[in-house]
Structure 1
Amino acid sequence: MLNAYRSAESGLTSIDGVGELDRAVWIDLFAPDEAEAARVAGLGVKIPTLEEMEEIEISNRLHREGDCQVMTVMLPGADAGGTRYSGPVTFILTSERLVTVRHHAPRPFATFAGRADRASAGTGSPVRVFLGLVEEIIARQADLLEGSGRVLDRVAAEVFGEEASEVEALRLALRDIGRQGELTAMVRLALFTMERMLSTFLVWNNTMKHRDPVIATFTKAQLRDINALEVHLDFLNSRVGLATDATLGMINLDENAVVRTLSVVAALFLPPTLIASIYGMNFAHMPELDEPYAYFIALAAMVASAIATWVWFKAKGWL
C-alpha cells in the first residue's frame, strides 16, 4: 500500500499516489509490492527489502547515501491479523521528501496525517515532517505506557484486595501481567532505537551546510522526552516484577491452603485407620475379638482418636 501526502496550510493533504507522486513531501509504503517500490525508486529513492530492514548491524540501520539519510527503528505495531509485535520501520529522508517503509501497522502512521497541523515542528519541509512523525511515535509510546500502568493498577487491586481472589482469577491476572511485560519490552526497544536514531540524526544535521537552526532544538526536546519515558518505563518494569511475585505468592498461598486441608483430613483419619488395621489382622489368637462389645469398643476408640487429633490441631492453631 502506498500513501502520499503534500504540505498544506492545514498540515498534510493526501494526494494521488500515481500522478502527483513527485509533489509528495511524505510517502508511506506499507508492505509495498514491486510496482510500488519501483514507482518510488523512480524518484531516486532506493527502497530496502524486509530482510535488509531486519539487519541489526548499525551500518545497516543508520547510514547516509549522499544527502539521503536512511534510519531504521523497531516499533510496536500489529500485523494483518491484529497480533501485536515489534517490527522494523525505515525512514528515508532527503531534501525533497520523507519516505517511510514498514511491513506492519504502528498506529502513528495512520494518525499522524490527520494531526500533522498540531505537530511542534510543523510540515514545512521533509525534515519537519520527519520530526512531527517522530513526535507522534513518541506520544504513542507514552500512551502505551499509560495503558500498561492502568492495567497494572487493576491487577494490583485484584491481587492486593481485602477479599481473597480465586486461583483462576489470579492466573488471569498473571497472564495480564505477562502481556504488560511484553508490551513494555517492545516500548523499551522502540525508545532505544529511536534515541539512537535521533542522536545520529542530530550529528548529521549539525554537519549540513543549509540546516534549519531550530531542527536541533526540536530534536533535543524529543530526546529529553525519550529519556523521561525511559525513567517511567523502568518504574513500570519494577511494578511488573512486583505484581508477578505477588500474584505467584497468592497462588502458592491458595494452593498451600488446599494442601493443608487435605493433610489435616488425612491426619484425622490416620489414628482410626491404625486401629482398624490392627484389628483387621488375621491372627489366630486375638483376645479382644472374643469380647461381646469389642466391635463397639473399637468404633469408639476410632472416633475418640479422631476427636483427640482434631483438638490437638486446633490447639496448635493449624485449623
Structure 2
Amino acid sequence: MPMLRTYGPNCDGSVIDPGKGQRIPDDATWIDLEEPTREEDSLVEQCVGVQVPTREDMTEIEPSSRLYEQNGTLYMTMSALYGVEDGRPRSDPISFVLTGNRLVTVRYVTPKPVRAFQHHAHRDKLLVHDALSAIYGLLDSIVDRLADELESAGAEIEKISAHIFAKQTSARRIPADRLTALLTRIGRAQTLLAKIRETAVSTGRLLSFLSGSARLKGEKAESVRDRIYSLSTDVHSLIDHSSFLGDNLTFLLDASLGLISIEQNAAMKLFSWAALVFLPPTLIAGIYGMNFEHMPELKWLFGYPMALTMIFVSAVVPIWYLKRRGWI
C-alpha cells in the first residue's frame, strides 16, 4: 500500500497525502516512502531537492550503484531480511538518501525492525531529532533483529545436529520420511542463513561507506560516528558467526547424505545376502528338477532326503561363513 510518513521533533509519523494538498513539515528529519507513487516521489523531491531512487535503481547489485555520493548527498541501498515469520525468508532492497538534515527511505516491503523503529520514533521523538540519529536508529534496529534471527538459526541447527546424531536405541533402519524431513529442515535453515548473511554483508558495506563519508567527520558527529563504528563491529561479528553456522550446516548436510548412503547400502546388502543364501539351494533344486531319463538318485530310496539335506547344508554354510566374517 503506497504510504508517505514523516518523523521528527514535531512529527509523529502521520501519513502525508499529496492528493489532499498536504505538505511535508519543515522539521521532518525522516521521510519514509513505502511503495511510493509518482506524486509522492515528486513531493519528496521538491521538498528535499534531490532525486528519489526508483525501483529499478534499487535492484542494481553493483556496489558503485548501491553506495555513492552525489553533490553532497549520500545514496545507500542495502538488502533487508523479511518474511521469516511466515516461514519464507526473503530479502528486498531498502534505499537511504541522506541530504542535509533529512533522511529519506524508500522501500517496497516492511521488515519487522523498520516497523518496530517506527513505533519507537512515534513514542520517543529524540530518536529522530536529526537525520543521523534517525539512520543510526534504523540500522541499529535492523542489526538487532538480524542478531535475533541468527540466534534462532543457530538454535535450529543445534536441534538438527541433535536429531542426526541422537543415540539409536535399536538397530532399526531410519525411515525414509524421517530422512526427507531432515533434508527439508536443513534446506530451510540454509535458506534462512543465506538471507541473514546477505543482509549482514549488505549492512556492513553500508556502515563502512557511511562511516567513511564526510557527514561523520567533525566533533558534532563524533557520538554518532562512535555508535556507527560499534554497530559496524557488531555486524562483522554476525558475519563471522554466520560463516561458522554455515560450515556446521554443510557438515550436517554431508552427515545426512552419509546416513542416506548407509541406508541404501544396507538395503543392497540385504539383497546381496539373500541372493547368496538362496542361490546354492536353488541350484541344487534346479539340478534335481531336470527331467532326464538317467538320474540314479530319482530311483534311490534316500534320494529325496539326500537332496533336502544338500539344500539345507548349502543354505546354512553361506550364512555361517558370512557371520564368521562379520558381514551379517
1:204 aligns with 2:204: no
Which whole-Å CA distance do the structure 2 matches of 1:256 and 1:239 have between them? 25
1:272 aligns with 2:281: yes
**CA drift at 1:175:** 1.8
State the partner residue of 1:15.
14
Q: Provide Cα deviations, 1:253-285, integer angstroms capped at 9, x if missing partner.
A: 223222222222222111111112222334443
State the partner residue of 1:122.
127
Aligned length: 315
**CA drift at 1:2:** 1.5
Contact 1:15 1:21 (C-alpha < 8 Å) held by counterparts = no
State the partner residue of 2:200.
191
**CA drift at 1:82:** 7.0
Q: Which runs of 4+ in 1 moved over 6 A?
A: none
Identical columns (%): 32
- Give the 5 Å matches for 1:165-244: 165-205=174-214, 211-244=220-253
Unaligned runs of at least 5 residues, structure 1 = none
Q: 1:207 and 1:247, CA in 2 relative to 1: closer, same or farther beyond 3 A?
A: closer
Q: 1:210 and 1:117, CA in 2 relative to 1: closer, same or farther beyond 3 A?
A: farther
Which whole-Å CA distance do the structure 1 matches of 2:216 and 2:235 have between them? 23
* Secondary structure, counterpart of 1:122 in structure 2: helix
Contact 2:83 2:89 (C-alpha < 8 Å) held by counterparts = yes
TM-score of the aligned structures, taking structure 1 as reference length: 0.88
Q: 1:21 and 1:281, CA in 2 relative to 1: closer, same or farther beyond 3 A?
A: farther
- Give the 5 Å matches for 1:137-176: 137-163=142-168, 165-176=174-185
- Give the 5 Å matches for 1:250-265: 250-265=259-274
Q: 1:305 and 1:204, CA in 2 relative to 1: closer, same or farther beyond 3 A?
A: same
Match of 2:254, as an amino acid?
D
* Secondary structure, counterpart of 2:290 in structure 1: coil
* Secondary structure, counterpart of 2:127 in structure 1: coil
Q: 1:160 and 1:209, CA in 2 relative to 1: closer, same or farther beyond 3 A?
A: closer
Q: 1:130 and 1:152, CA in 2 relative to 1: closer, same or farther beyond 3 A?
A: same
State the partner residue of 2:256.
247
Q: 1:151 and 1:82, CA in 2 relative to 1: closer, same or farther beyond 3 A?
A: closer
**CA drift at 1:53:** 1.1
Q: 1:154 and 1:50, CA in 2 relative to 1: closer, same or farther beyond 3 A?
A: same
Q: Relative to structure 2, which stretch is displaced further, 249-258 or 266-275?
A: 249-258
Q: Provide Cα deviations, 1:93-151, integer angstroms capped at 9, x if missing partner.
A: 122422212223322111111234899x9322011100110011111111111011110
Contact 2:7 2:30 (C-alpha < 8 Å) held by counterparts = yes
* Secondary structure, counterpart of 1:32 in structure 2: coil
Contact 2:13 2:122 (C-alpha < 8 Å) held by counterparts = no
Unaligned runs of at least 5 residues, structure 2 = none
**CA drift at 1:289:** 2.5
Which whole-Å CA distance do the structure 1 matches of 2:42 and 2:309 have between them? 95
Q: 1:227 and 1:117, CA in 2 relative to 1: closer, same or farther beyond 3 A?
A: farther
Contact 2:7 2:122 (C-alpha < 8 Å) held by counterparts = no
Match of 1:287, as an amino acid?
P
Which whole-Å CA distance do the structure 2 matches of 1:154 and 1:82 have between them? 17
TM-score of the aligned structures, taking structure 2 as reference length: 0.86
